[in-house]
Structure 1
Amino acid sequence: MSLFKSITVNPTTKVLIWKIEEPEVNLREGIVLTENCQNRLRGMKSEIHRRGFLSVRQLLRAAGYKVSDLYYDSSGKPHLKDGKQISITHSFSYSGMIISDTTKVGIDIEKQRNKISVIAHKFINYEFGFLTTKMIRELTVVWCIKESLYKVFATEGMSFKQHTKVIPFHIEQGHTPAWVIYKEKLQKYRASFFEFDGFTCAYALEN
């Protein structure tokens, strides 16, 4: 099994990353799928999506949970039955999860691709002002942080471009503050990020 990385963010928060190398049959080992999970799998035509789905269930197992301990609300946000905070992500050959005892959290993994520069105008505004020659990498960090903020704040009508701000950073820092400004509410977050194998992962914790 391919638990790629485990990060202890603080005594109550952990990040787990899975590298999806196994065939689908191996990713089913050691887990008991709920009826809902089985139905969702049957509806997935893409093997990549099925393997990503199963790798997330393996991450649950690595964190000490059963598949049945995870459920989703009507908006699609994941929850754990023990009340701990959780966020989940999947991109190509990696999946990730962050779990915290009390702090609201969000996580995202994205592959670094040139096409992000084409859509940058859709999700960033003032952040254009601090981009450097490492633009593709920096844009991917910004996207991952904003996606993490979206998962934490989880409010319908929220816009990446209008309602989220990533404070200027350097790639080497690995962390930066980030804000959600929505309907006169300002919520601050601690965002961290790292790169591996041409991918970027970012996670955000509510201050």
Structure 2
Amino acid sequence: MAIAYRQQIDDDTEFALWKIEETAEDLYKQLQLDETEKAYTKKLSKSKRYLHWLGTRVLLRKMLGTEEYIDCKADSHGKPYLVSLPYHISLSHSFDYAAVMISKTSPVGIDIEQIKDKVERIAHKFMKPAELGFLEDKNIINQLYVCWCAKEAVYKCYGQKEVSFADNITLLPFTFQHHDALQAKLHKGAININYQVGYLQYEDYMIGYVKG
């Protein structure tokens, strides 16, 4: 499978989706891994998580246009980074899709989620009462997924632990469109950062993406 969707954000930033239709063996053959990564993948074998891990790495390789080894590590907060390439990256996956966002200039965050009705049951866990108040009845499921993906993208872009979606990330009111943007604010102690978060409904998935 080739890249299913690709969007250029600006001259230095883009994201893409990969529909995982290959077997784990086919994906594995497209990668060069060091011994630590090989040992890690053995722990994930025969699980959907294994396919997701492989899918994001194959997509990252395609986006960077290289067949050479890519040294991708995670920092102490779990944020992935490239050891020897000048790109900020963010990775996500959900069911049949992998998503990767890269930028030469700024931190980025991306999240992809398959849209399901059950999100309504947990909305109070990641939304403020004021945010729940601007939801539209006719689009409530889609809008809740935009909110979740936007907050997750901001969290990944900021790149540090101990951030509460409900307490530390605030979304301004927006009207749902299939492809649009909204305003978000991250506030924690003395930290106050404004973000413009893009979102896209792709098939039965929602994607949120942001550049810091």
Shorter-chain-normalised TM-score: which range? over 0.9
Q: Deviations over 1:107-148 (max 9, x none)?
A: 000011111100000000021111012111100010000001
Following the alignment from structure 2 to structure 1, what is the Cα–Cα distance between the partners of residues 125 and 33? 38
Q: Give 3-state SS (helix, strand or coil) of 2:22's partner.
A: coil
Q: Give 3-state SS (helix, strand or coil) of 1:4's partner.
A: strand
Shift of 1:29: 2.8
In structure 1, the partner of 2:172 is 167
Shift of 1:75: 2.2
2:80 matched to 1:78? yes
The partner residue of 1:118 within 104, 117, 121 is 121
Following the alignment from structure 1 to structure 2, what is the Cα–Cα distance between the partners of residues 170 and 30? 41
Amino acid at match of 1:201: I
Structure 2 unmatched ranges of 5 or more: none
2:178 matched to 1:188? no
In structure 1, the partner of 2:207 is 201
Q: Give 3-state SS (helix, strand or coil) of 2:157's partner.
A: helix
Following the alignment from structure 2 to structure 1, what is the Cα–Cα distance between the partners of residues 211 and 69? 24
Amino acid at match of 1:128: L
Task: Figure out how many residues of one structure are paired with residues of the other and give that number.
Answer: 206
| Contact 1:89-1:96 at 8 Å conserved across structures | yes
Following the alignment from structure 1 to structure 2, what is the Cα–Cα distance between the partners of residues 90 and 48? 10
Q: Deviations over 1:33-77 (max 9, x none)?
A: 222221111111543111111111111211224453311112211
Amino acid at match of 2:48: I
Following the alignment from structure 2 to structure 1, what is the Cα–Cα distance between the partners of residues 57 and 159? 22
Shift of 1:196: 1.4
| Contact 1:20-1:94 at 8 Å conserved across structures | yes
Following the alignment from structure 2 to structure 1, what is the Cα–Cα distance between the partners of residues 45 and 120? 30
Shift of 1:154: 2.2
| Contact 2:20-2:96 at 8 Å conserved across structures | yes
Amino acid at match of 2:188: Y
Following the alignment from structure 2 to structure 1, what is the Cα–Cα distance between the partners of residues 160 and 58? 28
